[in-house]
Chain A
Amino acid sequence: MENVPDVTQGLNAYPAVVGWLEGIGLPGWLAEILYRVGGGLLILTLIAILALVLVYMLRKVMGHMQCRLGPRVTGPFGLLQTAADALKLMQKEDIIPARVDRFLFILAPYLVFFSCGMIFMVLPLSPTWILNDLEAGVLYFVAFGSLASFGLLMAGWGSNSKYSLVGGMRSVAQVVSYEVPLVLALLGSVMLAGSLSTQQIVLAQGGTWLGFLPRWFIFLQPLGFVIYFLCGLAETGQTPFDLPEGESELVAGYNTEYSGMRFALFFLAEFGNTFAIAAMATTLFLGGWHGPVFSFLPWLWPFVWFMVKAMALVFCIMWVRSTWLRFRIDQMMNFAWKILVPLALLNIFISAGEVAAIRWIGG
């Protein structure tokens, strides 16, 4: 194990970039701001690229699960299909229906997208690639995850359409309900790692048990992982919790009246959130960026492992999406409050027992 390169010494951008900016004569505070803004822009780009990849992936995965091939005409293997769609959405006329609440109507998609983007700030993509390793990273993630529901409610109310209104109400009911088991399920990992910082949680999952089993929290927290994953589906409005936009009932739910780029923002946020949920599950339960590191580009491997794990989870989400169907509103609520919350509470007790056991053995 001595030959493993120390990945934490890899591409640490912060001192390099800020040092270079200060080197060309900028004051320290400006260099700091420029670094943060640059990082933010990078994340926006990342979300956009991710959405393009995920939409293509979704189409291909669902296509093959549904006895068809998915896009294959635009570009090689249909790779340019999503780019063409994005282009189409940008060209669309920006329609604001008469009699909408303009302020809310316009603000809503930005708020939804903003909350999605903010989540990416605390995702530890690799030991050094984290925009801001907050002390309370997990709490921050939960907070911004639920901020999106305000945006959805604003879209639902602001559209002055009944489908949108019912969709908005559903999404708030859903997010508020599933927030509870979600947070409770997260607590298990937090207790085991003893920290709310996402990077610390990943670091706590390094190494192996008995020499072969990676110390990922999923092995200690199988129940927590399942609860988190289901709540994550609900938070992002994926099947079987796609009630807020269930097209057979509410046409398109809260985004019925949106078109063009405003719709594209909802769309981007949906895929961004899907990835964020998968990435957070990776961080909390699947050992984050931990994985074998090879001597070729050692600083890149953690990122690769992180993406592989996250994408595998995204694939699972798509799998669920193409095989399951929608809950009814009361069933959805019952599932949250009568099944998931008690189980999540039970999970906390299990975690506490595990923490005590580890201290007893390891201490």
Chain B
Amino acid sequence: MKTQDAEKKKAALTKQFGEAVTPTVDPDGVLEVVVAPPQAPEVLKILHKEYDFHQLHDLTAVDYIKDNQITVIYRLMNIEKPDMLVVKVPLDRNQPEVATATGIWPAANWLEREVYDYFGVKFVGHPNLTRIMLWEGFEGHPFRKDFRAFDQEPPEIEPHEAYLASGFEGPVDLRDVGSGNGAARKLIINFGPQHPSMHGIFRAAVELDGETIVDMKPIVGYLHRGLEKVAEMRTWAQVIPYTDRTDYLAAMNNNHAYVLAVEKLAGIEVPLRAEIIRVILAELGRLHSHLMAIGCFGLDLGAITPFLYVWRERETIYDLLEMVSGGRLFPTYFRIGGVARDLPEEFIPRLKKFLKEMPGHIEQYNNILSGNEIFQKRLRGVAHLTKEMALRYSVTGPMLRSTGINYDVRKADPYSLYSRFDFEIPLGENGDAWDFYWLRILEMWQSMRIIEQAIAYLEETGPGPVQAKVPKTLKPPAGEAYVHIESPKGDLGCYIVSDGGTSPYRFRWRPPLFINLQSLPELVRGWKIADFIAIFAGYDAVMGEVDR
């Protein structure tokens, strides 16, 4: 995505801040502003207020040990225009400190905690600057290049207890509830890490007044596998299987983000046929992910049957993936410069049959779930995600579109072949749980449309190579690349930095769910327990992606 009027903004910024900023326009047309740490908060505030960068798209850091610098990177966006801008703040490696951006964008909260966790960067003024993925008491910051791994035992005591005890009024333990004077008491219930409807190991400490939620604290990090760190020790090609394991319901889309980033960095031209195949599979991944999402919606609201209905279609998609790659959940089918192998002969007929059956199946879901009075009653008007709130928390994906904001990366910043396919972006109106659900059904129709067009295009282009010539040991030139795609869960970004070596110097995954989830407390406050479950289902959370 280009920066609009990059030159104009460049000139204005130079005029306003003089020496403190060094704006450059990178080859993609994105304005990159390097800011000295003392001026950083002011520049960010001005960019937010006067340049309309309402959204903190991503916040991460890179350790440039040779320059004795840790660079904090703010990726700002205005998704309505759309517009993107990068702010880099180089910090002294020995004492990295910068003012927090949580006051400008609440979405910075967890992102800054993550950077603190990984790099030890202190964000002055952050409300709760504690480790988020690793445990409190972990020695060292693993993403610093001079970090040497050694065995560290995680603590026996749950490290979040202190955090939980703060800010809640009620007793953490049921046994602490005294007989009292008969006044109503609040209760804190842990939903998760092990709970049937937390979609993995998400933990929500919920303060209840009767059945009503007074406050809620989300805790993540139980499934942290250090994906980004592991990637730094693998060759460029070896990273692909790891991306499968982030959002494991849409492995293809994850592959897509990563290979596109590497291809962009290394300047690899992908054969057309491979690109079409990628689109087909990425849309299949979206279908798969949305199928699971609507199935889980039913399951979380107490209907088991729709969940098993979607299992049937899921099985077909798995069979298709197995056909092309041999893998089902983790196909690892995309390669840098193409795909692993051409489609087998029986793939397209089977896919066509699937597309023919699918409308009938969606009709079934509508009959059993969408049309159910109780289901509609449970979802309509529950939760109210406003546009303003969605922007504040950098919410992306179907949840953002449920508020009526038309932002889909496939349209806003077309990648791959999406610009040549004809499809629509379904939009919601109310930002309620019903919209979260219904948009996914509508998006499935659009995905099917894209797949149909892609099949026609594939047949039109005929056979051809599916893999570009890529050196055996790929060494992309030193530099960096950022690619974001529309994954089923939201705006999935992949930021890679190369030092010209055989493996990524820094590999950053912008997980849409991790960022979306920060809006959960504000969204569920004041609703009932059952609504909380319904709202959480709307995130379609996959903890593999949140915790990486």
Residues of chain A at the chain B interface (Cβ within 8 Å): 62, 65-68, 99, 160-163, 165-166, 170, 239-240, 242-243, 246-251, 322-331
Contact = CB atoms under 8 A, between A and B. Distances in A.
B174 interface: yes
A163 B302 contact: no
Given A161-B174, A328-B378, A328-B528, A248 B197 contact: yes
Contacts of B378: 325-328, 331
B196 interface: yes
A331 B377 contact: yes
A251 B529 CA distance: 12
Given A162-B189, A165-B174, A331-B377, A324 B303 contact: yes
Nearest to B534: A328
Contact of B302 (A62, A67, A240): A240
Interface string B252-295: 00000000000000000000000000000000000000000000
Given A166-B211, A249-B197, A323 B368 contact: yes
B329 interface: no
Given A323-B305, A328-B377, A329-B529, 8 more contacts: A163-B189, A165-B187, A170-B211, A240-B302, A246-B530, A248-B196, A248-B533, A324-B374
Contacts of A160: 174-175
A166 B187 CA distance: 10
A322 B304 contact: yes
Nearest to B302: A326
A62 B306 CA distance: 12
B298 A67 contact: no
A250 B309 CA distance: 24
Contacts of A68: 308
B302 A246 contact: yes
Contacts of B195: 251
A237 B21 CA distance: 66
A158 B301 CA distance: 27
Nearest to A163: B189
Given A166-B189, A249-B529, A329-B530, A66 B303 contact: no
Given A162-B187, A166-B211, A323-B303, A249 B308 contact: no
A251 B211 CA distance: 15
A240 to B, nearest CB: 6
A246 B375 CA distance: 15
A327 B374 contact: yes
A235 to B, nearest CB: 18
A92 B247 CA distance: 37
A162 B189 CA distance: 6
B435 interface: no
A65 B302 contact: no
A117 to B, nearest CB: 28
Interface of B: 174-175, 187-190, 195-197, 208, 211, 298-305, 308-309, 311-312, 368, 372, 374-375, 377-378, 528-531, 533
Contacts of A328: 377-378, 528, 530-531
B interface, over-half SS: helix
Contacts of A322: 304-305
Contacts of B368: 323
Nearest to A68: B308
Contacts of A162: 174, 187-190
B305 A65 contact: yes
B305 A329 contact: no
A99 B308 CA distance: 39
B530 A326 contact: yes
Contacts of A65: 305
A67 B307 CA distance: 11
A248 B304 CA distance: 11
A90 to B, nearest CB: 26
- Which A-B residue pairs are the 10 nearest by beta carbons? A326-B302, A325-B303, A248-B197, A325-B302, A66-B308, A328-B530, A325-B301, A248-B300, A162-B189, A66-B305
5 contacts: A62-B305, A163-B189, A251-B196, A324-B303, A328-B528
A251 B192 CA distance: 10
A192 to B, nearest CB: 32
Given A162-B174, A325-B372, A239 B302 contact: yes
Contacts of A62: 304-305
B207 to A, nearest CB: 11
Contacts of A325: 298, 301-303, 372, 374-375, 378
A67 B372 contact: no
A67 B309 contact: yes
B372 A324 contact: yes
Contact of B528 (A165, A240, A247, A329): A329
A247 B196 CA distance: 7
Nearest to B187: A162
Given A163-B189, A323-B305, A326-B302, A249 B530 contact: yes
A66 B304 contact: yes
A323 B368 CA distance: 7
Nearest to A157: B174
A170 B196 CA distance: 19
Contacts of B372: 323-325
A333 to B, nearest CB: 10
A326 B529 contact: no
A162 B305 CA distance: 28
B312 A67 contact: yes
Contacts of B300: 248
A251 B194 CA distance: 10
